[in-house]
Amino acid sequence: MRRAFWRSLQLRVVTSTMVVSMAVVAVLGVFLDQQINTSVLNARLRAAMSEAQADRIAVLGFLSQPAGEPAKQSGDAGKSLQSGGDSPLSQATTALANRAGSASRYSVIICNRKLPGACFGTTNIDERAVTDKMRADVVKQEPGKNSLWYGDLHYKGGSEPIPGLVLGARLDTTGAPQVHNEYEIYHLIPLNEEEKTLNAVRQMLVVVGVALVLLLAAIASLVTRQVVTPVRLTRQAAERLAAGRLDERLKVRGEDDLARLAASFNEMAANLALKIHQLEELSQVQRQFVSDVSHELRTPLTTVRMAADLLYDAREDFDPMAARSAELMQNQLERFESMLADLLEISRYDAGAATLDIDSVDIRDVVLRAVADSEALAERHSTRFDLRLPGEPCMAEVDSRRVERILRNLLFNAIEHGEGRDIVVSVGADRDAVAVAVRDHGVGLKPGEENMVFDRFWRADPSRARTIGGTGLGLAISREDAMLHGGWLQAWGMPGEGSQFRLSLPRVAGAELRGSPLPLVPPEVEMRRTWRGQMTPVLTPAAVDGGHDAD
C-alpha cells in the first residue's frame, strides 16, 4: 500500500484532498454544532426566564392574600410534593400547574426554608431535582436574582432522568412586605426535545460532511485524472523509447500545456532517434574501419615479419648498430602484432561475433600457465608472485584460452603498477563459482577509478611513462571475456594501498552467478578498517602538554 501510494500521483492528490477536507469539515461541523447548540439553549433560556418572572409575580399575589381567602384562579389542583390543603402556597402551586400546562413545558417547586420539608411542586416532579447545593446557592443570591444550573431532572414514576435546566431564585418581597423573605421558587425546564433536535442536527452535519468529503474526493480524482493520464502516457512512451523503440510517439490533442508537452516529447524523440541513427552509422563505420584495417594489415605484417626474422637471426653478422636495429625491429613487430590482435578481438566483440570454446578445466592449471607466461616480465621488474592455490581441484566449464588471456592482462597490469613489490594471486571456489584475485601493492586507484579502469584506452595517470607496451585495450577485452562467460571482473584500489582485481566465473557454463568465493577488498585492508573503527583516541598527558610519548 505504501508503494502504491508513493507511485501514484492521483492517489496522493485524492488522499491529501480527503484528509484536508475531513479536517475542514470537522472544524466547521464542530463550530456549527456549538453555534446551533448555543442558539437553541439561549432561546430556551430566555423563554424560561420570562416565564419564571411572570410566575414569581403570580406567586407573590397568592402569598400576599389574607389566610383563608379563596384563590383568585381556578382549575385542576396541582399535585403537591407536600400536601398543604388550601394554604396560599398550595393555591399558588395549583395556579402555576395550570399555567405550565404539562411537565413537558416546565415544572415549578416552591419551598419555605423556614419550614423544612415544606415544598410544593407542580405535576409529578421529584424533590431530588432540587439539590441542597442549589438551595444553598439561591440563599446566597439577592432576592429576585436567578441562579442557573444544567443537570438531570427526576420525575416520580420515571425510569430515567431527563436533561434539563433549573432556574432558582428567592422571592423579591419588596412590593409585598407582608410576605416573608424565606420563599424560594425553582423552575425546572426539561431539555429532552432540544436534545433530540440537536442530535438530529449533529447527524445531519455528519451525513452532509461525509457526503461533502466524498464529493470533493471525486472532484479531485476527476481533475487529477485529466492531468495524470497524459503524464502517465508520456512516462510509458519514455520507457518504451528508453527500451529502444525509437518510433514511439504521443498523440497530440488540443493546444493546452499537456498538448504542447506531447508535441515537445515527439520532437525530442525524433531528434534523439536521428542522433542515435547517426551515431550508430558512425560507430559502424569506425568498427568496419578498424576491422578492415586490422585484416588488411595482416598480409604486409606477415611479409615484414618474415624479413625481420631473417635479419634478427643474422644479427650476429652485422655491425653493432645494425644488430641493435634488428633487435628493436623484432621487439616492435611483436608489439605491433599484439596491438593488431587486440584490435581484431575488440572488433569481434563490437560485431557480436565472439564465441566461447567451452571445456571443463582446473582453474589452478590456467593460473599456473598465465603466471609462467608472465615470469619473464616479472623478473625484469624485480617482481615475485605469491601463489595461494587451494589443495582441491577447482573445476569449471570455461574457455581456457580467454580466461588465460584475462589473467595475463591482470598480471601484466599488476607488474606495470606494482612498483616492484610482490603480487599475490589467490584462487577460491565454492559450490557455484570459482574466482581468481590478483593483488598488487603499488600506487592503487583513486575513488571512482575502479569502474573507469575497464574503459577503452583509459590510463590512471597519463603523465606516467608506460613501461609495458600495449593498446590500452587489455582490461576492456578482459571484461568482455568475463561477461561472455556470464562472470564478473571487478576492481578495488586505494591510494597507497595498491589494488586488487577479482575474476569470478560460474562453475557451470550458462549458470547465473550469484556471488564470489573471494572478497573484493583484501582481508588485511578490511581488518585494518575494522580495527581503526574500534579504536578510541586517548590523549596522554604528554600529548596534552605538547610532548612526545616514550618509545
Q: What is the mean pLDDT of the chain?
A: 79
DSSP character for 66? P
Contact yes or no for 17/220 (Cβ under 8 A): yes
Q: Hunting for cell 557454463 — which residue is that? A: 509
Q: Around 318, how many Cα atoms within 13 Å sit in the side-chain half-sphere?
A: 14
C-alpha dist (Å) from residue 181 to 38, 57, 110, 132, 143:
34, 14, 13, 19, 8
Helix/strand/coil percent split, the chain, to 5: 55, 15, 30
Q: At residue 235, does pLDDT exceed 50?
A: yes
pTM of the entire predicted model: 0.47
Tell me the pLDDT band of 95, cut-offs 50, 70 and 90: confident
Structure-model confidence comparison of residues 453 and 10, the more confident one: 453
Structure-model confidence comparison of residues 81 and 326, the more confident one: 326
Tell me the pLDDT band of 129, cut-offs 50, 70 and 90: confident
Percent of the chain with pLDDT over 70: 82
Q: What is the mean pLDDT of residues 53-78?
A: 59
pLDDT digits (tens, 9 = 90+) for 337-395: 777 777 777 777 776 667 788 999 999 999 999 999 889 888 988 899 999 999 898 99
Rounded CA Rg of the chain: 52
Cα(168)–Cα(38) distance, integer angstroms: 21
Yes or no: domain 257-351 corresponds to CATH 1.10.287.130 = yes
Q: What is the mean pLDDT of residues 124-146?
A: 79
Strand arrangement of the beta sheet that strand 162-170 belongs to = 119-121, 107-112, 183-190, 162-170, 147-153
Percent of the chain with pLDDT over 90: 15
Superfamily name and number for 359-534: Histidine kinase-like ATPase, C-terminal domain (3.30.565.10)
Q: How many other C-beta atoms lie within 10 A of the C-beta of residue 112? A: 17
Q: Specify the amino acid at residue 435.
A: A
Q: At residue 436, does pLDDT exceed 90?
A: yes
Please state the φ and ψ torsions of residue 433, each to the nearest 5 degrees: -150, 160
Q: At residue 411, does pLDDT exceed 90?
A: yes
The number of residues in the chain equals 551
Burial class (CB in 10 A: 0-12, 13-18, 19+), 182: middle
Please state the φ and ψ torsions of residue 125, each to the nearest 5 degrees: -65, 145
Structure-model confidence comparison of residues 389 and 67, the more confident one: 389
- Domain ranges, ordered by start, for the chain: 13-198, 257-351, 359-534
Q: Hunting for cell 650476429 — which residue is that? A: 316
Q: What is the mean pLDDT of residues 382-411?
A: 91
Question: Looking at the domain 13-198, which fold is it?
Answer: Beta-Lactamase (3.30.450)
Cα(476)–Cα(409) distance, integer angstroms: 10
